[in-house]
Amino acid sequence: MKQILWFRRDLRIEDNAILSAANADVLPIFIFDKNILNKLPKDDKRVTFIYDSVLKLKKSLQEIGLDLHIFYDEPINVFKKLKNDFDEVLCSVDFDDYAKQRDEKIEKILPLKRFIDSFILNPNDHLKSDLTPYKVFTPFYKSLDFLTSSNEIETYKRNPNLKIIPFDYNFIPKLEDLGFTRQELPDFLNEEIKDLLKDFSLRIKDYQNDRDFFYKDATSKLSVHLRFGLISAKQVFNYFKRVPNSDFFIRELFWREFYNYILFHNPKSEFENYNKLEISWNENEDDFINWCEGNTGVPIIDAAMKHLNNTGLMHNRLRMIVASFLTKNLFISWKKGEKYFALKLLDYEASSNIGSWQWSASTGADAAPYFRVFNPYIQSKKFDEDGIFIKSVLKELKDVDSKDLHIENAIGSNLFINYAKAIVDIKISRQMAIQKFKEAKNENL
């Protein structure tokens, strides 16, 4: 049997499902998918990172006697060319709408075997006693005690008997051939994963207390590597299970599992409010553009969005603050914010971002109550009292009194500082949002 091993977001040779399940004669491939790339800006940092990671994967495969053939095309075109010479395709599975439609088309050309690889859990497992899926994280997580209390999760073992199928194709596209220009990446993306793991293991004892402070170096820096599969979630679990004080971080790892679980069982939540509320969102495009560009007149919102636009990075607490501001204060649909994050975040993960945005908008599974609206000024004072993060991004505010950063319109009213007043009143907009949610809930009864 001749098998195609289609690498997608599993760019590693350890704990890799398709390298474990393959029989003997294989052709490993990676496709730079035009359907995806054509929708991205040409300076997208993720493409640089993926491109470099694919070349590293090719080298790793060569070291174990295999190779990686790289295509730049629409997947359906690639498999139409390969279909007569191969028996089946092995790949990891994704549950977002595009991935499912893509795989259904390929399956009409060649048999497709899908494997759970990007996540720890099979979403078909771990149902409630009535065989329906969980909707709330805490009982979902408690149901996994048998797993989370274990010292190690079994990983995939690579089949050592795999043989490369001779294939007359040596094209390796350059980044420019894909239509992209090389971008400078954050330093941590140039580090070895083993160094990131070791570094975080030394800091993990402070993770629970420090993770919400924007300016502290408290996060694991593993989210991008997890997203593209340079390391598996099982590998991360197993590594930190051996590290003291890791329980809180491991619990957070399962939020990622929970949101994938929710998307699997509720695929329409990618496009619709999970709780079925009918809400008339604000359609003012100027408000949305000001949010995107970081021109809202609210220092913490503007700093967070400008930092995202410049780096592709945003701290989790900041994600919650800007999402609350967009959906509750500006009352703009979470779908627009989620779509913008999809364009900008280096670690964009469809299931996690859809779930997180619906959480912030009070429309999702286990969502924040609709009356919970983050006050951005209280949040910035609590987690960046000295304005360290804000001033590092908004250079024009570097000399202002830090306490003014946390007072509504204190800076916008200062005649000596060129900074606009806030585009919305926090208190009034919060009251309006709560009223609109009440009306939507009453109409939904």
Q: Is 127 exposed, middle or buried (0-12, 13-18, 19+ CB in 10 A)?
A: middle
What tens digit of pLDDT does each residue of 324-356 get? 999 999 999 999 999 999 999 999 999 999 999
Using CA atoms, how far apart are residues 144 and 126, in angstroms rounded to an integer?
A: 8
Could you tell me if 54 and 11 are in contact, meaning their C-beta atoms sit under 8 angstroms apart? Answer: yes
Contacts for 301 with CB less than 8 Å, ≥ 6 apart: 291, 294, 321, 322, 325, 376
CA distance 417 to 378: 22
pLDDT bracket for residue 367 (50, 70, 90): confident
Name the pLDDT band for 296 (thresholds 50, 70, 90). very high
pLDDT per residue as tens digits for the range 225-282: 999 999 999 999 999 999 999 999 999 999 999 999 999 999 999 999 999 999 999 9
- Decide the pairing of beta strands 163-164 and 25-33: parallel
Planar angle of CA 59, 61, 62, nearest 5 degrees: 65
Question: Helix crossing, 316-324 with 334-344: angle to 10°?
Answer: 140
Q: Write out pLDDT tens, residues 50-64.
A: 999 999 999 999 999
The answer, yes or no, to whether residue 442 has pLDDT greater than 80, is: no
- According to DSSP, the β-strands at 163-164 and 112-115 are unpaired
Instruction: Say whether pLDDT at 444 is over 80.
Output: no
Band (441; pLDDT cuts 50, 70, 90): confident
Mean local confidence (pLDDT), 152-171: 94
Looking at residues 201-221, what average pLDDT do you find? Answer: 94
**2: β partners:** 25
**pLDDT of res. 413:** 85
Q: Taking the mean position of all CA atoms in its chain, how far away is CA 310?
A: 17
What is the phi-psi region of residue 332: left when phi exceeds 0, alpha when psi lies from -120 to 50, beta otherwise?
beta
| Banded model confidence at residue 366, pLDDT cuts 50, 70, 90 | confident
pLDDT of 443 over the 80 cut = no
Express each pLDDT in 395-413 by its tens digit. 999 999 999 999 999 998 8
* The predicted structure's pLDDT at residue 437: 93
User: What is the per-residue pLDDT across 90-118, written as a single tens digit (0 to 9) for each?
Assistant: 999 999 999 999 999 999 999 999 999 99
Tell me the pLDDT tens digit for each residue of 108-148.
999 999 999 999 999 999 999 999 999 999 999 999 999 99
CB of 384 closer than 8 Å to CB of 376: no
- Check whether 380 has a pLDDT greater than 90: yes
- Supply 91's token pair: 């790949």
pLDDT tens for residues 301-328?
Answer: 999 999 999 999 999 999 999 999 999 9
Give the model's pLDDT for residue 445.
53
List % helix, strand, coil for the chain (3-state, nearest 5). 50, 5, 45
The answer to whether the CB of 297 falls within 8 A of the CB of 423 is yes
CA distance 9 to 83: 22
Residue-range domains of the chain with CATH: 2-117 (3.40.50.620), 119-154+193-265 (1.25.40.80), 285-444 (1.10.579.10)
